[in-house]
Amino acid sequence: MNAFATRRASVSEPIGPTIDSAQALWAIRELETLVDQLGADSPVAMVFRHARQELVSLMNAEEPSIVLGPFRVAA
């Protein structure tokens, strides 16, 4: 008997929603525009800046056209 648990090939983990790089770039530009309109001191602008940083971190510089993910949104 194998002491290690094996994973059945037919069972897979759910895949979260994904976004591609074009969608991420669009969202980054929109967030920048909103931050500019709100002003640097706005608490909402701080949240938008953080969201923008998260999107930038998902971007793959080596292959910018690949699908990014999983993209999780938590409140």
**pLDDT tens digits, one per residue of 17-75:** 667 778 888 999 999 999 999 998 999 999 999 999 988 887 765 565 655 565 555 54
Q: What pLDDT, on a 0 to 100 scale, did the predictor assign at position 30?
A: 95
The answer to pTM > 0.75 is no
Please report the DSSP string for 19-55 in residue order: EEHHHHHHHHHHHHHHHHHH-TT-HHHHHHHHHHHHH
